[in-house]
Structure 1
Amino acid sequence: MGVSQVSFARYVRPLGWATLVANAMLVVTGGAVRLTGSGLGCPTWPRCTDQSFTPHGALDLHEAVEFGNRMLTFVLVAIAVATFVAAWQTGRRDLRRLALWLALGIPAQAVIGGITVLTDLNPWIVSFHLLCSMAIISLAVLFVRRIDQPGPAPAGGPLVGLAWATYAASWAVLYIGTVVTGSGPHAGDEDSPRNGLDPLQVSQLHADSVFLLVGLTIGLLFALAALRAGAEARRAVLVLLLVELGQGAIGFVQYFTDLPIVLVAFHMLGAALISAVVTWTLLAVRTPRATPSATDQDARVAVRA
């Protein structure tokens, strides 16, 4: 590996974190598009208007918000390409593969975003668009953690099963949350359709799924303590519980205050944090950190060189 390659590979960790943070921020900016009613500020795709890729004349708020969100795609592409190059230069197949999936996720998200515009913000496609961002966030967490832990043998047993159940419950919460959004007032445009479901009923279902998630998380926390599991796993599940409680509090308040925009934005950020932390929790339980072997040490040196 040449000198220039080694010097660039050392940035794989900060680039991995940049990928994670940037995709979490994309959830928030995407929420801003919807919450300000700017979802059709650029009424077509891939162009902003029928004549141009950029808005013409004086920008109104909706055009500026929607077009600005589209421009963030190029930032994400730049970060994804740099991450892939750095991962490639580490010489590690697992990092290369993960970085490739992360890079492919960005144009895939752009296409899904385009479909949401072309379908006038169909709430089911908007839901899928958000869930794809959550999946990319989860994958980015796996990438970051793999940097220092190149492919250890996963652990098994009831703890891992409980961690998987918690992970699955978190995705149920995230999905039902998007259904609640699709039934509510923040459509992204005043003429966009809603999914036709009763907001009260789907909100109750969402609350029930949150109670299930919190219960599983508490059970996992007690199980880890009883079995004296690794410190990382216990720390991860404790952080997860705190994020869940904070997210639940925001959701409760926003529901009874008629969904103010600021609280909804924080709730979307909380959803991104749930996706990230629950992935960390699963990985910490499933692949606990151990004393590194000589091979692992060599892999770490290659990344840090």
Structure 2
Amino acid sequence: MSRSGPLSSDSTLRRLAAAGVVANVVLVVTGGAVRLTDSGLGCPTWPRCTAESYRTTPEMGVHGMIEFGNRMLFFVIGAIAVAGLVAALRRRPRPRGLVPLAIVAGLGIPAQAVIGGITVLSGLNPWVVGLHFLASMAVLAGAYAFWRRAAEPDVPAVPTVPGALRGLTGLLTGVSAVVLVLGTFVTGSGPHSGDHGAARNGLAPAAIAQLHADAVFLLLGLSVALWFGLRAVGADRAARAAAVLLAVELSQGVIGFVQYFTHLPIVLVAAHMLGAALVWLATLGVLWSTRERHPAVANPTTADPEPAKALAVPRS
């Protein structure tokens, strides 16, 4: 039986899923703004903003407003996630895996908030700050998966590229994750601690920055190799996704080099954090492009629909 209501249409579900992705990227950027403006302890405790109040006070000034505003964004993202879950539950027919993805994307938000609270209670311990960023990337991956699944039919996924290229894509995704982890090490060793006097992780900034750059070069090399491989087998859709990833990586690399040699100006560091989220999304885009779910088509010999046959791909 069909359902009606403001959250019952497929287009609404896709819009809510897309809004979840955008909101999580905004959260990454605003979280960076908290750190870069030394507002990490603008609310010095958690879950309250002060010992007496959940809200900021005028005496806490702009730092309190920035930190409190970032906390309030969690409620916005949470509302989007709940609405997305309701829309997924109301979808008919409902693709397999859609509701679990909506739940994962939603549960990641309170988990991320708790890690943010531990970050404050630890006095902005750099390792916890890095974990908070990586949690954001994990939640972003969940939101992206929910968005992509919301636009797919309820049929099995089929590969669109040979096994060797799927393996290369998996390796690329893993290296992209390693680049993100090393990026948090670089951040934890640098000057932008989130609050004057907050501890640093003790790693040599130049050495860890070089290791991070080496991982970035490896990621670029894998991306170029994957792009050539996808073009060679005629996987145009996946090749376009790889080209987008390369463009984002190169832009992010330019920002990274410029910020390093200009002594980490706040504007460029913020742009680099946004770039990190975009590189991760582009990586996930390549991963998704290596398989498809073909919509059902009518069988010419029967009245029943059947899934469209996948295009044959070379066996590796």
TM-score, normalisation: structure 2: 0.89
Which one-letter code corresponds to 1:84 in the other structure?
L
CA distance in 1, matches of 2:222, 2:59: 52
Structure 1 residue 121 corresponds to structure 2 residue 124: yes
Q: Contact 2:41 / 2:120 at 8 angstroms: preserved in 1?
A: yes
Structure 1 residue 23 corresponds to structure 2 residue 24: yes
Identify the structure with the greater helix proportion.
Answer: 1
How many residues were matched structurally?
Answer: 295
Q: Which residue of 2 aligns with 1:217?
A: 223
Q: Which residue of 1 aligns with 2:288?
A: 283
Q: Contact 1:94 / 1:151 at 8 angstroms: preserved in 2?
A: no
Q: Which residue of 2 aligns with 1:11?
A: 12
Q: Deviations over 1:85-121 (max 9, x none)?
A: 0011113341111000011011011000000000001
CA distance in 1, matches of 2:149, 2:54: 39
Q: Which residue of 1 aligns with 2:72?
A: 71
Which one-letter code corresponds to 1:270 in the other structure?
G
**Structure possessing the higher radius of gyration over alpha carbons:** 2
Shift of 1:4: 2.3
CA distance in 2, matches of 1:78, 1:99: 12
CA distance in 1, matches of 2:186, 2:296: 45
Q: Which residue of 2 aligns with 1:153?
A: 157
Higher RCO by CA contacts (8 Å cutoff, separation 6 or greater): 1
Shift of 1:221: 0.2
Structure 1 residue 130 corresponds to structure 2 residue 133: yes
Q: Which residue of 2 aligns with 1:199?
A: 205
Shift of 1:145: 1.6
Shift of 1:144: 1.6
Shift of 1:143: 1.6
Q: Decide which of 101, 109, 113 is 1:110's aligned counterpart.
A: 113
Q: Which residue of 2 aligns with 1:227?
A: 233
> What 5-or-longer segments of structure 1 have no aligned partner?
298-305
Q: Contact 2:226 / 2:242 at 8 angstroms: preserved in 1?
A: yes
Which one-letter code corresponds to 1:130 in the other structure?
F
Q: Which moved more, 1:155-164 or 1:62-71?
A: 155-164
Q: CA 1:151–1:292 in structure 2 vs 1: closer, same or farther (change >3 Å)? A: closer
> What 5-or-longer segments of structure 2 have no aligned partner?
298-304, 309-316
Q: Contact 1:221 / 1:237 at 8 angstroms: preserved in 2?
A: yes
Q: CA 1:247–1:284 in structure 2 vs 1: closer, same or farther (change >3 Å)? A: same
CA distance in 2, matches of 1:220, 1:39: 40
Q: Decide which of 118, 139, 142 is 1:139's aligned counterpart.
A: 142
Q: CA 1:53–1:258 in structure 2 vs 1: closer, same or farther (change >3 Å)? A: same
Q: Which moved more, 1:129-138 or 1:180-189?
A: 129-138
Shift of 1:10: 3.7
Which segments of structure 1 move beyond 6 Å, counting only runs of 4 or more? none
SS of residue matched to 1:60: helix
Q: Contact 1:9 / 1:89 at 8 angstroms: preserved in 2?
A: no
TM-score, normalisation: structure 1: 0.92
Which one-letter code corresponds to 1:265 in the other structure?
A
Q: CA 1:94–1:78 in structure 2 vs 1: closer, same or farther (change >3 Å)? A: same
CA distance in 2, matches of 1:151, 1:129: 36
Matches within 5 A, 1:46-85: 46-85=47-86
SS of residue matched to 1:3: coil
Q: Deviations over 1:47-86 (max 9, x none)?
A: 0011111122344111011011001111011101001100
Q: Contact 2:8 / 2:90 at 8 angstroms: preserved in 1?
A: no
Q: Which moved more, 1:145-154 or 1:200-209?
A: 145-154
Which one-letter code corresponds to 1:107 in the other structure?
P
Q: Percent identity?
A: 54
Q: CA 1:6–1:183 in structure 2 vs 1: closer, same or farther (change >3 Å)? A: closer
